Structure 1
Amino acid sequence: MRASPPASAEPPVRPSAAVDAPEPVPGKQRDPFFDNAKYLAIVLVAIGHSWEPLRSGSRSVTALYTLVYALHMPAFIVISGYFSRSFRATPPQIRRLLTGIVVPYVVFETAYTLFTRWTDHQPGRAISLLDPLYLTWFLAALFVWRLTTPIWNHVRHPLPLALAIAMLATLSPSIGNDLDLQRVVQFLPYFVLGLSLKPEHFQLVRRPEVRQLAVPVFMCALAVAYWSVPRFDYSWFFHNASAEQLGAPDWEGPLMTLALFAVSTLLVVCFLAWVPRRRTWFTALGAGTLYGYLLHGFVAQGAKSWGWYGPSWIHGPLGEITVTVVAAAVVTALCAPPVRRAFRFAMEPEMRWAFRRDAAELTRAS
């Protein structure tokens, strides 16, 4: 999923391995559709985080927040799964897994811990690589999902099996915080769905009739979200707790897993139907979505600690619009090539010194 140079005059930047094909095909053109989808999904992620301090004072913001959380991570995970289909645990793929996921996880888990020590005035907060902090859960999850990809590619009915595992997870409050496994397991079906998709499935969602139907579907979803604000706990969409931990009876967990999967999948289809298929001004930014994802968290966390949400006007319509626009602008800037070049040492280190050369490399070198 990383090959063609961006449309801008910027020189091409080597893309991150985290949400793209583990084994890029030399000379293969990038499909702007997927870069556009990744960029728009990461903008929704940043906007959702910016709305968190505004929820309590606005039913409308809470409804939009619920809708965004039903959509953004499922969309991002489905795309990640789709571009993990070729993962076979070959030596080059393992190297990309370590340098593109494990190293950034260690770096940003440490950085977020140190950052929250400062912003939250918790100098004694320990650095724990087993308990993902804030946004780093996605890297831990992607590491586990991608390692299990060969299994899902060989079982007969991978999606029903993944759904069954996710349903059982909601019955297991004993699943600990190690690598945020509750969230890893509950989001697993979206990754497996992506693994199961083929190019023709994405052609279907690009059809004009699907795009037209997406409008009333989103309108209905927003109306339902607004209605459900005082009646439904949107924490279900976080997929990080069991039914018992959410104060619900056990039987509700598996049913909610199926219902939320159906809702989120439908919204992902509608979202993809609206994604532009041509190159746009933001297409090149799709190559830097992991940068925007991990870096915008420092701004989102800092904004709450530094009192940026303190002024009363921020909690009115003008403030809510301003926060939304600023969040979109910040994450857009963080996906840009200059930022990617500056942080490539942490996100995409070469680390050739750390790996042995495999037989194929030695043959080519001889």
Structure 2
Amino acid sequence: MTNVLRPHGHQRTPLPPESRASPLTPSRDAAAPQPGGSPTPPGGNSAVKKRDPFFDNAKYLAIVLVAIGHAWQPLTADSRIAEALYIFVYAFHMPAFIVISGYFSRSFDMRTDRLQRLITGVAVPYIVFETAYSYFKRYADDDPGYPISLLDPWYLTWFLIALFIWRLTTPLWKIVRWPVPLALSVAVLASVSPDIGDDLDLQRVLQFLPFFVVGLVLKPEHFQLVRRREVRILSVPVFAAALLFAYWVTPRMATSWFYHRDSVQELTAPWWTGLVMTPALFGCSMVLVACFYAWVPRREMWFTALGAGTLYGYLLHGFLAKGSRFWDWYDAGWLHTVWGAVALTVLAAAVVTVLCSRPVQRVFRFVMEPKMEWAFRRDAAELARGRAEKKAPAPTAGDGGTAARG
């Protein structure tokens, strides 16, 4: 169900310290100033600072892995190789996405404009797509009784409600002394608590929480570290070992462990298993996330601009992913061959690429990034500045001349 400039040598341009954008933030943020961008020009006007291509590349590649994982899922029932690849991808694609979410949430506080953006950029898309997905399931799956509930996220919308909750708790994680161990402890407790229930998909919210908190505590130099040549070289045997382990573990371990949506009791394991498996899965995922980041291109690529539209690709491809099951597209025998799996992989990557493109963004921008000025009161400080500007006398020619001479 869950479901993502490079000079030679070690002298590399440092990553920007932070940005206020979300990893799922649409193209409206593409022109937003970011620390580490272009300097102010001599004329004194601030230049529009450029987005860092590394993060856009990482977001695009992560969302492609999400779509590919969804395309592979129906193949896992009769192919051990497909299931191994599926487990391998699911071990790190959402954690990689969530770590970037945390990194770009470091500046979040309860300031009015940031709360407004949290509502328009996360809460509103959640409400719209949770409703749209519910109606889609009713009619596409011939399930007219399926309830529409904003408290029970269905399919992909869990990430939006999780991001909303994580962002609201950001000030807490910024003041505690050991945020990552504390978040991991919360995840462990959640994994052994079967009574949490399905409201707001809190199991997944809490079990994925440590990855978000890791992003909050990361600094630019940490991303610089994984871009070192030796880390890239080391990541190759690590990925290979992870693939072999995934192949070995497929008959022995349910893929549901990697969804993080159930307690260990619901996975028919003894309660104490959560004390071991949750930290172990977290550690394995973080190693694979580091290996993934090590191979993300640092320079501008043909797909870099698509990283600004990952919210579109993430939410829209879900209709096709679920529709393919509802309409029995996988009943075609050729899809369960090697060439069929390759074709599905290419098709999934191509579809989500199109859904991240600018034309699609223009069509769905009213849903993904509504302005909604009408819904918010103007900030008191902003109103005060406006009144002060109206009361200030207009400068005279003599004043201008005096200022120029001064």
Alignment of 1:70-109 (within 5 A): 70-109=91-130
Alignment of 1:248-287 (within 5 A): 248-287=269-308
Indicate if the aligned counterparts of 2:68 and 2:345 stay in contact, CA closer than 8 A: yes
1:148 partner amino acid: T
Matched, 1:29 2:50: yes
Instruction: Give the stretch that moved more between structures: 122-131 or 277-286.
Output: 122-131
Matched, 1:173 2:202: no
1:174 aligns to what SS in structure 2? helix
Indicate if the aligned counterparts of 2:34 and 2:50 stay in contact, CA closer than 8 A: no
342, 362, 365: which one aligns with 1:341: 362
Instruction: Give the stretch that moved more between structures: 43-52 or 118-127.
Output: 118-127
Alignment of 1:172-191 (within 5 A): 172-191=193-212
Deviation at 1:163, TM superposition (A): 0.4
89, 98, 102: which one aligns with 1:68: 89
Counterparts of 2:165 and 2:133, CA distance in 1 = 21
Matched, 1:206 2:227: yes
Q: 1:24 to 1:249 in 2, by over 3 A?
A: same
Matched, 1:162 2:183: yes
Deviation at 1:24, TM superposition (A): 5.9
1:278 aligns to what SS in structure 2? coil
Matched, 1:145 2:166: yes
Deviation at 1:119, TM superposition (A): 1.6
Indicate if the aligned counterparts of 1:13 and 1:341 stay in contact, CA closer than 8 A: no
Q: 1:191 to 1:269 in 2, by over 3 A?
A: same
2:89 aligns to what SS in structure 1? helix
Equivalent pairs, count: 353
TM-score by length of 1: 0.94
Indicate if the aligned counterparts of 2:20 and 2:107 stay in contact, CA closer than 8 A: no
2:264 partner amino acid: A
Deviation at 1:195, TM superposition (A): 0.3
Counterparts of 1:173 and 1:284, CA distance in 2 = 42
Counterparts of 2:203 and 2:190, CA distance in 1 = 7
Indicate if the aligned counterparts of 2:20 and 2:108 stay in contact, CA closer than 8 A: no
1:38 partner amino acid: K
| Corresponding residue for residue 365 of structure 1 | 386
Indicate if the aligned counterparts of 1:2 and 1:287 stay in contact, CA closer than 8 A: no
| Corresponding residue for residue 311 of structure 2 | 290
1:262 aligns to what SS in structure 2? helix
Counterparts of 1:252 and 1:347, CA distance in 2 = 40
Residues 195-244 of structure 1, C-alpha deviation per residue, up to 9 Å, x if partnerless?
A: 01000000001101101111110000000000111011221110011110
Counterparts of 2:383 and 2:197, CA distance in 1 = 43
Residues 109-143 of structure 1, C-alpha deviation per residue, up to 9 Å, x if partnerless?
A: 00000000112101121210000010000000000
Alignment of 1:218-233 (within 5 A): 218-233=239-254
2:68 partner amino acid: I
Matched, 1:239 2:260: yes
11, 15, 28: which one aligns with 1:14: 28
Deviation at 1:29, TM superposition (A): 2.2
Counterparts of 1:132 and 1:182, CA distance in 2 = 12
Residues 27-72 of structure 1, C-alpha deviation per residue, up to 9 Å, x if partnerless?
A: 3321100000000000000000111111111000000000010011
Instruction: Give the stretch that moved more between structures: 115-124 or 89-98.
Output: 115-124
Indicate if the aligned counterparts of 1:36 and 1:282 stay in contact, CA closer than 8 A: yes
Indicate if the aligned counterparts of 1:170 and 1:242 stay in contact, CA closer than 8 A: yes
1:359 partner amino acid: A
Indicate if the aligned counterparts of 2:69 and 2:86 stay in contact, CA closer than 8 A: yes
| Corresponding residue for residue 328 of structure 2 | 307
Deviation at 1:80, TM superposition (A): 0.3
| Corresponding residue for residue 6 of structure 1 | none
TM-score by length of 2: 0.85
| Corresponding residue for residue 8 of structure 1 | none
Quote the RMSD (CA, aligned, Å). 1.6
Instruction: Give the stretch that moved more between structures: 298-307 or 141-150.
Output: 298-307
| Corresponding residue for residue 59 of structure 2 | 38
Deviation at 1:304, TM superposition (A): 1.4
| Corresponding residue for residue 132 of structure 1 | 153
1:129 aligns to what SS in structure 2? coil
Indicate if the aligned counterparts of 2:207 and 2:260 stay in contact, CA closer than 8 A: yes
Deviation at 1:363, TM superposition (A): 3.7
> Unaligned stretches of 5+ in structure 2?
1-18, 36-45, 388-406
1:204 aligns to what SS in structure 2? helix
Residues 74-119 of structure 1, C-alpha deviation per residue, up to 9 Å, x if partnerless?
A: 0000000000000011000000000000000000000000000112
Residues 285-310 of structure 1, C-alpha deviation per residue, up to 9 Å, x if partnerless?
A: 00001110000000101111222111
Indicate if the aligned counterparts of 2:71 and 2:345 stay in contact, CA closer than 8 A: yes
1:128 partner amino acid: S
Indicate if the aligned counterparts of 1:15 and 1:288 stay in contact, CA closer than 8 A: no
| Corresponding residue for residue 196 of structure 1 | 217
Aligned-pair identity (%): 65
332, 345, 348: which one aligns with 1:327: 348
| Corresponding residue for residue 74 of structure 2 | 53
2:58 partner amino acid: A
